[in-house]
Structure formats: C-alpha cells, structure tokens
Amino acid sequence: MQRHSDVRGAVGSVREGVLASLALVPSVFVYGTVFGGLAVQAGLTAAQTLGMSVLVFAGASQFVAVPMLAGGAPALAIIMTTYVVNMRHYLMAATLAPAFRRFRRAWLFVIAHVINDESFAVAVARSQPPDPRVYVGSALAISGAFVGGVAVGVALGGLVERPERYGLDFAFPAVFLALVAVQLRRRTDWLVAVAAAVLAVTLSLVLGGSWHIVVAGLVVSAIGAAVLPVETPSTVDEPA
Amino acid sequence: MRSDVWFVIAGMAVATYLTRAPMFVALARGTLPPRVRLWLRLVPLAVLPALAVPLVLVRDARLVIGWAHPPLWGAVVVFVLAARGVNLLASVAIAVALVALLRALA
C-alpha cells in the first residue's frame, strides 16, 4: 500500500513538472523552429540539425555553432566555444544534484543530459530544494518541445530563399544580445559584459577567426570572479 | 557544407555532456565555493557579448561602425527591448524585422 501511494505520488510530481512547464513550451518550440530553419539555411542537413539538437541539446550553444560551422571555423574552436557557452550547466548541476541523492547512479547519467535552463527555472521556482520528479517532468516537456520545434523548422527552413533579405542572418547576434540583456543584474555585470565585448572585438580585428570568443569569455569572466566581491547565495541561485 | 560536421557535432555533444554529468553525479552532496559560483555566473555574461558584438561590428577583419549599418540599429533595439523585459523571441523578431526593413530601404 505504502509502495503504491509512493508510485502514484511520483507520477503526480512528474505530471506537475510537465504542467508547470506548459507556459514555456510555446516559446521553446518556436526557439527550436527558428534554430531548425536557420541551421538548414546555413547549409546543415536535416539529419545534422536534428542530430545536433538531440545529442547536444543546448540551444544557445547550437545557435553559436551554426554560423561558425558555415564560416569555416576550426573544429576545435567550435567545440571549445560550445564547452564555454555551456559551462553554466555546472552551476545548475551543482544546485540540482543534492535533490537526486536517492536516484540510482545510472539514472543520474541519463537525467544529466536533459539539464536545461527552463526546467531548472521551473524546478527551483517551485520548491527549495527542488523536487527531482517535477524537474524530470519539466525536462520531458521542454526537450519534446525543443526537438519538435527543430523538426518543424527544418521542414520550413528550406522554403526561405536569400535569408539575409529578411534579416535572418541577424537573428544569431540578436539572440545572444537578448540573452545578455536579461542577465545583467549588478552594476559589475555591465563591466564584465562591456570588457568582454571590447576585448573580443579587438582580438577579432587582430587575429581574425573565432578564438576571440573563448579567449575573451574565459579571461574576462575569470578576472571578474577573482576581483569582484562574492555575492550572497540568493543572488546567484536565480536561473540564467 | 564542410565534411567534418558530424565530427564537430560529436565533439560538441561530448563537451556539453561534460558540463552536465560530472558535477551532477559527483556533487550529490555538498556545494561549490562561492568564488567558483560567481565565475560560472559571469562566464555567459562575458561569452555572449564576446560572440555577439564582433558579429555586429566586425566584417572581414575590419571595424564597421556607422549609422548606415543596419545590424547596429538592430543590436541597440534588441538589447533595449530585452533589458526592459519584453519577451525574448519578440525582441529578436522586432530587431530582425527592423534590419530587414533598413536593408530594403538602403
């Protein structure tokens, strides 16, 4: 009896996670559609675009990789840039991990793959510490919406000719700038963002290529973390 | 398209998994030092402008700054809209439409 109600409680929490994520599903779906369309426009095949979305499953870094792939950046530069863009997962993984203490190790390796900004936000906003089953339910909804959106985008993307005519090439920097804008909370955040931009532009003029992204990103954030005052947990636990 | 796309995707997948799994599996108890947490929060704040601003301002290893450069207007608009709390996709769509319009007028 006890066991039965445990299972029902678990299923209920997963469903709760799915329901709590429904508000985010349309925008994640559209985000996926935009990615699918732009990736196909840039020259990736449908299989490559979908494969990347399932295997990497990290939207921002995928948006970053596509123009680099199309522009002929070295493979290692793309992979390193992906790593640095996704380093924020360390923070989310560290915050979520204690809640999954009672899960089997094998499951942890599976659940780790679907760590994403939106589900993190949903789970952390619901309860502290986050309910692991709510998190799993949210990850199911978000990953389904993203991959489904990419599939639709792949189908539609081939229809647009000359994407720059519609300003679609500008969608990449626009997404990045919007993501920065919503993360600037403290005055020192501006300092970090502006310093990184100036260093990246300078390096890009001097070096060409695409290493300026990793170098400026790591150097400026590391200097910032070394010299800026450490914040209280309440200001760092919010999702990016 | 280049021939190493699948190789790059595999590398991206491994690199991304390394940002998710080790900490998640190992840190089932305990927390990160505050300065490491601060660094991890600052990384996207530094990487995203490092990506975006050269895409807007640099072309063929030369600085392109001028009011006749549509992406510059688009960049200002998307940044201001997103900072003011406008939905992310709406901000991007408006800026993209503006760039398309300015190009059509030029």
Q: Do A144 and A216 have their domain in common?
A: no
Contacts A93 to B, Cβ<8 Å? 19-21, 23-24, 27
Q: Kindly state whether residues A124 and A172 are assigned to the same domain.
A: yes
- How much is the pTM? 0.76
* The total number of structural domains that make up chain A: 2
Put simply, the answer to whether A196 touches B70 (Cβ < 8 Å) is no
With 50 as the cut, is the pLDDT of residue A1 above it? no
Both A178 and A190 in one domain: the answer is no
**Domain endpoint, select from A161, A182, A203:** A182
Q: Would you state the pLDDT for residue A158?
A: 72
- A30/A126 same-domain check: yes
Mean pLDDT score, A114-120: 89
Mutate to test the interface with A, among B2, B4, B9 (most CBs of A within 10 A): B9
For residue B28, give how far its alpha carbon lies from the nearest alpha carbon of chain A (Å).
4
Domain extent for A74: 2-182
Average model confidence (pLDDT) across chain A: 86
Same domain? A230 vs A112? no
For B32, nearest residue in chain A (alpha carbons): A94
Name the closest residue on chain A to residue B44, using Cα atoms. A85
Contact A176 B49 (CB under 8 A): yes
Give pLDDT tens digits for A136-154. 999 999 999 999 999 999 9
pLDDT of A237 reads: 46
Instruction: Work out the percent of chain A whose per-residue pLDDT is above 70.
Output: 92
Same domain membership, residue A166 and residue A199: no
Q: Are residues A153 and A206 in the same domain?
A: no
CA distance linking residue A100 with residue A92, whole number of Å: 13
A167 and A213 inside one domain: no
Span A173-196, pLDDT tens digits: 887 898 889 889 899 999 999 999
3-state secondary structure of A1: coil
Q: A146 with A210, same domain?
A: no
A235: confidence class by pLDDT, cuts 50, 70, 90 = very low
ipTM of the complex: 0.85
The confidence score (pLDDT) of residue A233 equals 52
Same domain, A133 and A38: yes
Q: Which residues of A touch B87 (CB under 8 A)?
A: 27
How far away is chain A from the Cα of B25, in angstroms, using its nearest Cα? 6
Quick one: A215 and A97 in the same domain? no
pLDDT, tens digit, for every residue of A15-40? Answer: 988 888 887 788 788 889 989 999 99
SS3 labels along chain B: CCCCHHHHHHHHHHHHHHHHHHHHHHCCCCCCCHHHHHHHHHHHHHHHHHHHHHHHHEECCEECCCCCCHHHHHHHHHHHHHHCCCCHHHHHHHHHHHHHHHHHHC
B10: closest chain A residue by CA: A55
pLDDT digits (tens, 9 = 90+) for B45-101: 898 899 889 989 998 888 988 888 999 999 999 999 999 999 877 898 899 999 999
Instruction: Answer yes or no: do A215 and A122 share one domain.
Output: no
pLDDT of A220: 95
